[in-house]
Amino acid sequence: MDIREEISNNRKKRVEREGYGLSITIPEKREAPLIDFSKGPFVICEVKRGSPSKGHFAKELDEVEQATKYWDSGVKHVSILTEEDYFYGSLQDLINIKKRCPTLSVLRKDFLLDLTDVETSYLCGADAYLLITSLLDRDLLYSMYWRGKELGMTPLVEVHDKDDVEKVRELRPSIIGINSRDLKNFTIDPLRPLKIRSYIDWECDIIYESGISSKEDGEFARDSNFSGVLVGEWAVKKESLPGELVSVFEKSRVYNPWERLFNSYKENRPFIKICGLTNKEDVDLAVDLGANLLGFILAESPRKVEIDFIKTQIIDKRILKVGVVVLSKGEKLSDDIKQLVYDGYLDFIQYHGDETLKECINNGVPFYKAISIKNRESLNKMNSYGPVVLLDSFSASKRGGTGKSIDRKLTAIARNNPNLWLAGGLNTENISSVLEEFKPEFIDVSSGLELYPGKKSKEKMIKFFKELI
C-alpha cells in the first residue's frame, strides 16, 4: 500500500464516522459564484501547510492571506489542499478563501471518494476538483467526472502511470495532471510527466505537478509543452516564485508570429514575401536579400513542395515561413500541415481557396487569407477576413498580365486601404510603379522572379530588392 492509498483509506474511515465535512459544517447552498477554471495557461499555486514527506513547512499559514498573495502575483488558479491529517488543511480553508476572494478560481485538492464528495466541493465553493485516477474504480471515476461537469465545475484528473492513462482513455479528460513525485518513496523524477504524457493521445491540457521550485523549472515544463504547472511547497516558501511562473507561462502564450513579422519591418519598404520556393539555393538567396517571409506551396502546383522538404531543408528559424494551401469550402487543413506549424517549421498558413473565415479560425493555426479581386464583393471580403488580406492577381490584371482590367473604382478602394497586401504579377519591371501608386504594406512575389517554374533567377531577385529601396 502506498501513501496515497493510506491517506485515502484514512479519509474514508473518517467520512464514515464524521460525515463528508469531517470537522466542518457543509453549507446547504453554494454562495460563491462559479469561476471558470478550464482555461490555461495554468499556473496553479497551492495553499499547502505541509505534506507527508516534508511534515509541516508552513504551520501558521493563513489561507486567505496566502490566496490573496497568489492573486496579487497574477495567479488565476489556486489549489487548496483540504485534506486534514497528512496535509494539515480543511474544507474551512476552501470556504474562507471563496468567501473573501470570490472571483478567484479554486481547485479542491483532496482524496475525494464519491459523488457526495464532488457535490460537497461544489457547495463549499470549489470551481474545480481533483480526481486521483488510481484511487477510484473506473465507473465511479467517470460518474464523478460527469457529475462535477454537470454542476459547472472543472475536473482535474491526475494520472501516475500507463495504467491510469488507459483507465481514463475513454473519458478523454480535457485537463490532466501528471505528478513528478513518486508517491511510494517521495522522490521527484523531473522527466516522469514527459514519459507518462506520451501515452496520452487525445487533445487536452496537461499540467506538470510537483517539485517545481524555480523559474527554470517552470520554463522546462513550458518548453516541454505542458499547459501549466501545479506548485505547492515552493509557492508558499518563495514569495517571488508565483509571479515569475506567471510570466514564464505568459511568454509561451504570447509567442505570436505576427509580432515577429512586424518586428522584421524595414523602413521605407513594404514587407516582402518571396513565394513558390522549391529549393534550398533560392531560399538562401531570399534570406540573404532580406525577405520578411518565405512562402511554400503545399497545394497542387508546379511549385508544390513536399512536407519532408520543409522539415529537412528549411529549418532556418531566423526567418518566418508560410505554407500556402487551397481548400474547398468545408475542407479541413490536414493534420500533417498543422503539425508543421505546431513544430515550428511554418509560422503561418495562407489560405488560397474557398475557406470561410470561420473555417480558417477553426483550423487553429496563425493564418491570413488570400482573395482575388473580381468585383466589389471581393473587396468587401477584405474587411471580413481581418486587418490584412492578400489580394491575389491584383496587379496582374491591372498590368495586363491576364488581359482583364479591373474596374477603376475597385482599385481606388484598394489603394486607400492602409493595410494593403498585394500579390500577383509583380516583377522587376512593374514594382516601382506599383509601390508608388498603391503604397502597399506588403508585397508577395513569385513567378515574376523565375527563370522557369520553381526556379528563381538570381539576377531578377537582386534587381527586385534593389528596386524596393
Ligand X SMILES: O=P(O)(O)OC[C@@H](O)[C@@H](O)c1c[nH]c2ccccc12
Binding residues vs ligand X (CB under 6 A): 46, 48, 109, 158, 179, 209-212, 230-234
Three-state SS across the chain? CCHHHHHHHHHHHHHHHHCCCCCCCCCCCCCCCCCCCCCCCEEEEEECCEECCCEECCCCCCHHHHHHHHHHCCCCEEEEECCCCCCCCCHHHHHHHHHHCCCCEEEEECCCCCHHHHHHHHHHCCCEEEEEHHHCCHHHHHHHHHHHHHCCCEEEEEECCHHHHHHHCCCCCCEEEEECECCCCCCECCCHHHHHHCCCCCCCEEEEECCCCCHHHHHHHHHCCCCEEEECHHHHHCCCHHHHHHHHHHHHHHCCHHHHHHHCCCCCCCEEEECCCCCHHHHHHHHHHCCCEEEEECCCCCCECCHHHHHHHCCCCCCEEEEEECCCCCCCCCHHHHHHHHCCCCCEEEECCCCCHHHHHHCCCCEEEEEECCCHHHHHHHHHCCCCEEEECHHHHHCCCCCCCCCHHHHHHHHCCCCEEEECCCCCCCHHHHHHHHCCCEEEECHHHEEECCEECHHHHHHHHHHHC
CB of 108 to ligand X, least distance (A): 11
Residue nearest to ligand X (CB): 232
Q: Which is nearer to ligand X, 168 or 414 (CB)?
A: 168
We find the least distance from the C-beta atom of residue 65 to ligand X, in angstroms, to be 18
Minimum CB separation of residue 181 from ligand X in Å reads: 6
CB nearer ligand X, residue 206 or residue 410: 206
Q: How many CA atoms lie within 13 A of 183 on its CB side?
A: 20
Nearer to ligand X, 48 or 398 (CB): 48
Kindly tell me which of 219 and 441 has the beta carbon lying closer to ligand X: 219
Least gap, CB of 310 to ligand X (angstroms) = 39
CB of 319 to ligand X, least distance (A): 40
CB of 48 to ligand X, least distance (A): 6
Cα–Cα distance measured from residue 26 to residue 24, given in angstroms and rounded to the nearest whole number: 6
Q: How far is the CB of 44 from ligand X (least distance, A)?
A: 8
If the CB atoms of residues 73 and 430 are measured against ligand X, the closer one turns out to be 73
Please report how close the Cβ of residue 162 comes to ligand X at its closest, in angstroms: 18
Distance CA 216, CA 234 (A): 13
Q: Which is nearer to ligand X, 6 or 467 (CB)?
A: 6
Smaller CB distance to ligand X: residue 231 or 245? 231
Q: How far is the CB of 212 from ligand X (least distance, A)?
A: 5
CA distance 25 to 90: 11
CA distances from 129 to 79, 133, 333, 406 (A): 9, 13, 35, 61
State the minimum distance, in angstroms, from the CB of residue 221 to ligand X.
12
Cβ proximity to ligand X, 32 vs 130, nearer residue:
130
Alpha-carbon span 122 to 391, nearest angstrom: 53
Cell, residue 78: 489556486
Least distance to ligand X from the beta carbon of 132, Å?
A: 6
* Neighbouring residues of 440: CB distance < 8 A, sequence distance ≥ 6: 270, 420, 421, 422, 434
Nearer to ligand X, 109 or 192 (CB): 109
Judged by beta carbon, residue 86 or residue 465, the one nearer ligand X is 86
- Between 52 and 290, whose beta carbon lies closer to ligand X? 52
